[in-house]
Chain A
Amino acid sequence: MSRAEAAGGLQSVPCAHCGEPAAGPAPAFCCTGCEAAHGAIHAAGLQDYYRLRDSMPAPVGVTGAPPVDPGCLVVGPRGTHVDLAVSGMHCASCAWLIEELLQPVPGVGAVRVSLAREQVRVEVDDAAAAGAAIARLADVGYPARTRTGGEDAGRAGRRQELLRLGVAGAIAMNTMLFAVGLYAGEAFGMAPGLEQAFRWLSLMLALPLVGFCAAPILQRATAALQARQIHVDVPVALAIVVMFGASVAATVRGEGAVWFDSLAMLVVLLLGGRAVDGAVRRKASERLEGLLGRRERTARRLGGAVVSPEHLQSGDRIELRPGDVVPVDAVITSGTSEVDLAVWDGEPEPRPAGPGTELPAGAQVLTGSLEATVLRPASESTLGRLRRQVEETLARRAPEELLADRVARGFVVAVLVLAGGVAAAWSFVDPTQVVPVTVAVLVVACPCALALATPLAFAAAVHGSAARGLIVRDGGVLSALASVERVALDKTGTLTAGRGVLRSWNGTDEQLAVAAAACRPSLHPVARAVVDAARNRGLAVPLAADFAEEVGVGVTAQVGASAVAVGAPGATLRIDGIEVATGAVHDALRPDAVDAVSALRSLGLELTVLSGDQQAAVDDAGQALRVADARGGQTPADKAAAVRAWEAGGERVLFVGDGLNDSEALASASVGLAPGGAVDLSVETADGVLGAGTTGDLSAVVDGVRRARRLRAVLRSNLALSLTYNLIATSLAAAGIIGPLGAAVLMPLSSIVVVARSAQLAGEV
């Protein structure tokens, strides 16, 4: 007999901790979380909590809040928070409204909204407060779920959104059918009974349209008004209510005009526009997830207990089996395996790993089982840091976004005032036209295009450049990048691969193969050059053991019976302490450097190479790249001085260089970008990081500049477009030339046009 059947015979009693139904006998619990909390409270001698809690009046608006699984709460150094997947957020004013609405909920601290990820991070005291926050969001029309729930987070919201759109579409088409009949009846005559029947049928169709399909719009507008705030949905919601109310009144009275067709058109196009917007955001965020690598949702402790990676502390021991993705940064303590470190440095070749090898989060274990000790907790791990950086980027709003939001909010007030004025004016001219004209003005002048398109343009551009390897600190960096006039490039590690090519080798192929065997696990450029050379010559690299690497000296390993060492000067091979062969490693230009530099030149940018290398080497690079201004022997201070001199002369400079050595130059330039990717995330001084998980660092710069310019162009033309459209359409609507139906079609269409233009910023530029 299963446990469920055993429980089936028992009475359902309230959970001793939270009061949800649970299977008795008392004290019974609905879940292990409650049982644990109950135990902890009793163990601490705090039983009074239950008495006090039950005697407290429930806070307004949060009664019946669903309990949140305490496992969803993330305990960090700065308190506890929960990540909620929220659907229905479309613009900066939604984000702002949510922050305002959640503040008064008891137990809720700081609230941070990420539009692009459709996520709200809420600092909470406990699981009950998280539940209350979710309930509050649902009350005001933003369905929310905890994000740690995994795959289905947000899915229910998306289904609901799709249902609303589909049902609205069906209703709109059928309403149109009757509307055509009614229009024809007006022109050619119609049996009065039939006409009235058609109106009633349209009304029946409009009920689910307003009550179900348009419900989120109405809820958001109501919530905004209750909080005495302005939201872009307010004029549209008002138009829906006025149209519906006037049409119902006309139908019941049996005279006057009905606008069920316009109503249906408006709702369906509004929902359609937002569905497009949501799809673009989701796609961008999925692409980012792909870029940042697989995120492991579980980790296995030594002994087999499966836990969430968030629960691992440094020093904890974990087990990694073939196929596992390393959940947090860890160092191997026993076992050997091939590992895929592509997420770490973009190198697709699997590498051997054994005791002492550090594995970054996101690396994949391929062949053998390993035991490892956790180096850093999940939030501090490489991927966690990169991810947080990007999330913070998206949470921060560029000045242009804030401006658009302010303009849009001012616009909404203006629209409401204008609509009032138009209504008053028409009531003198022609009272029968008051409702249609006012509705048309409300709908047509709504600044949805502006409010929707600007944050979307930034999100799309940030995501798009991230997908091509440039992760920027915030949208403002892209604005600055658009107006850059000069690019100053560091040589080593930026123009050159920081990864050498073996130019000469005075030994035999067999010796090279032995050297490569010793070099295989190392990430040092010289070692990589030796391994590449052996691979290029198609040599069979023997197996090696007992790898060791000493910084600045070289690598040692046991190959067969001999002790092999490879190290300075150049790549010198010593077998059993005797020097047998040597090779020279050249720092070659990146394969994409020439193309990228000429692409930057064709964008009209002045180019300079600033390098600490000897002038001769820098001249070579300058010649290959056709850059005349190639300065060698530059100290970090020289570079910073050069950048400052250009900036002082009114030139905006983009400096691309190593975040550690050139931090001063990076900080002095209008935009400073540091190559390095996930390995060396030197974001403290740089405005952006290049080459995170993708190939071609420099092509990401080219793409970034192009995308930034395109972003600027799109923002400007979107603004011009919406203002022109609003001016013309509003005048026509106020004059009664555009009716409610025309307005219902025009407004969402204009939104879709600007949204589609913004969405393109995520793709090729």
Chain B
Amino acid sequence: MGMVPVLVGLSMLLAAVGVGLFVWAVRDGQYDDVEAEAWRILHEEKP
């Protein structure tokens, strides 16, 4: 039983990290245009 608070705390921490990463990714604009990224591989690279 003593492990439960530790595990709960750990899981919350993990979830918080996940949410934090998600918030960062959205703010960074990574979800702004999810379709264009699929096409980008077809574009020629500029040296």
Contacts and interface: CB of A to CB of B under 8 A. Distances in A.
Interface of A: 155, 158-159, 162-163, 166-167, 170, 173-174, 177, 191, 194, 197, 201
Contact of A159 (B5, B11, B26): B26
A177 B11 contact: yes
Given A162-B26, A166-B19, A166-B26, A174 B32 contact: no
Given A159-B31, A162-B31, A191-B1, A170 B26 contact: no
A159 B27 contact: yes
Interface string B14-27: 01001100110011
A194 B31 CA distance: 39
A170 B4 contact: no
Contacts of A191: 1
Nearest to A283: B35
- Provide the main secondary structure of the chain B interface: helix
Interface in B2-45: 4-5, 8, 11-12, 15, 18-19, 22-23, 26-27, 29, 31-32
Nearest to A170: B19
Given A191-B1, A194-B4, A159 B32 contact: yes
Contact of A174 (B5, B12, B22, B27): B12
14 contacts: A158-B32, A159-B27, A159-B31, A159-B32, A162-B31, A163-B22, A170-B15, A170-B18, A173-B15, A177-B11, A191-B1, A194-B4, A201-B8, A201-B12
A163 B11 contact: no
Size band of the interface chain B makes with A: 10 to 19
6 pairs of A and B residues whose beta carbons are closest in the complex: A170-B19, A166-B22, A163-B26, A174-B15, A159-B26, A162-B26
A163 B32 CA distance: 12
Nearest to A201: B8
Contacts of A173: 15
Contacts of B22: 163, 166-167, 170
Contacts of A201: 8, 12
Contacts of A159: 26-27, 29, 31-32
Contacts of A163: 22-23, 26
A201 B13 CA distance: 13
Given A174-B12, A191-B1, A201-B8, A155 B32 contact: yes
A173 B19 CA distance: 12
Contacts of B19: 166-167, 170
Contacts of B8: 197, 201
Contacts of B29: 159
Given A158-B32, A177-B11, A197-B5, 8 more contacts: A159-B29, A166-B23, A167-B22, A170-B15, A174-B12, A194-B1, A194-B4, A197-B8
